[in-house]
Structure 1
């Protein structure tokens, strides 16, 4: 083999190790790119409505986002925080109620099988003694808060977390102000014969991310609305917090909808056990409506991700990047799907002419 071949191989391996060592920084940069794409998408929508310069449209977009976040912090967040704390405090009681239901079911089943003389279960205290005493609501809330802090890697170093947040938003603003300039830098780093294709692929990635964000916002809003209506009709307390949790966690497929059912079911167990079953049925129905009715209706906005690719991306990116990899697994999967389609399939397997 030629010396140039080995030199190129060593160079690629070195670049790979460099990227791996900088993976935590790269995932933060990607988060900034996601926010920048959201700003660019919103700016594009404003530019279609108001025929003014892009800089002024970006200013309007930023002002609108800041205004919405401010209103959310003043109105939505306090109410959500209050209800969410009540949810956390009620979890131990809900677990105890669930255990009592299970024990009662086992006792009745035992009586049916062994008769009234069965001594398999004498009383509930026997079962509860086998379990570690459950913490009270305040202790559990503090424990969950500490776990979330550790999960986000800011418990030990709050200053580093603030720096990371500032870094992400700084990157997003810089890219949003000059998206074309940064795109051209990436294109110039590709070989000259591939630059036209690289420009096309980058445009496809950007369009896919924009479409995914619009579709997710629409579907998550519908899920939150349907969850809120269902919980209200069932007479479940803390409707606002549970509906908002359902909408937010809908962004994370497979895992998110499953987690979102824990809180309303916990509240229902303390009210009426039958309501927990009704909530489970309602949430399953909502997810089916979202999958087969809402998503197809907004499919011209949303990118259709292959289920196997989505699940694999969640697992792989969580292992590589940690919790932030799980949060960004879907946009990463969107980019990965475009790259596989355009580069691996079109340019390599199909051997299409690159021009």
Structure 2
């Protein structure tokens, strides 16, 4: 598939511009691949943190709730909220105290993740400054809601890759 794209790029853009398009695509593949790996790592961390907390609290269905928290992590803010609500429902079905403790744990995991884990992982994976990561997520969410929050980092990485490749050529 890469060879056919390369041939098409050369034919459509010419040799010089086709080469630049291929460099852009390679850079995109590298940076977006790193972002996907970072997201998978975040999902694993959130799932494990949630699971461990629910086990410590003695919450029924700790494993499925932890898995749910990890999977929903990919949807900023909404996903973790849904996972916390599910844990609260299980907690309140056991006792009011467990319901409140599961709420507290869900909020705690989110704060740790948003303020410590995401910025560090994104910096290491894709080279984004932690402050830039937080600002991009906030701006993306403000402009386009959930989809904006989910797509902000990959769109930024794509634009950055194109601009860097273009600057290198010119």
Determine the structure 1 residue equivalent to 2:159.
340
The 5 A counterparts of 1:303-342 are 304=128, 305=133, 306-308=136-138, 310-311=140-141, 315=145, 326=147, 330=150, 332-342=151-161
Counterpart CA distance in 2 for 1:264 and 1:212 is 28
From 20, 23, 29, the counterpart of 1:200? 23
Counterpart CA distance in 2 for 1:253 and 1:200 is 31
Which sections of structure 2, spanning at least 5 residues, go unmatched?
none
1:291, CA displacement in angstroms? 2.8
Contact preservation (8 Å) 2:88, 2:103? yes
Contact preservation (8 Å) 2:92, 2:99? yes
Larger radius of gyration: 1
Contact preservation (8 Å) 2:50, 2:69? yes
Give the secondary-structure state (helix, strand or coil) at the position aligned to 1:299.
Answer: helix
Counterpart CA distance in 2 for 1:239 and 1:340 is 40
From 56, 62, 66, the counterpart of 1:233? 56
C-alpha RMSD of the superposition: 3.1
Determine the structure 2 residue equivalent to 1:122.
none
Determine the structure 2 residue equivalent to 1:187.
9
1:256, CA displacement in angstroms? 0.9
Determine the structure 1 residue equivalent to 2:104.
281
Determine the structure 2 residue equivalent to 1:107.
none
TM-score after normalising by structure 2: 0.76
Determine the structure 2 residue equivalent to 1:93.
none
From 277, 282, 300, the counterpart of 2:124? 300
Give the secondary-structure state (helix, strand or coil) at the position aligned to 1:301.
Answer: helix
Per-residue deviation, residues 97-116 of structure 1 (Å, max 9, x unmatched): xxxxxxxxxxxxxxxxxxxx
Per-residue deviation, residues 72-124 of structure 1 (Å, max 9, x unmatched): xxxxxxxxxxxxxxxxxxxxxxxxxxxxxxxxxxxxxxxxxxxxxxxxxxxxx
Contact preservation (8 Å) 1:205, 1:335? no
1:237, CA displacement in angstroms? 0.8
Counterpart CA distance in 1 for 2:11 and 2:85 is 48
Determine the structure 2 residue equivalent to 1:22.
none
Q: Which has the higher helix share?
A: 2
Counterpart CA distance in 1 for 2:12 and 2:36 is 28
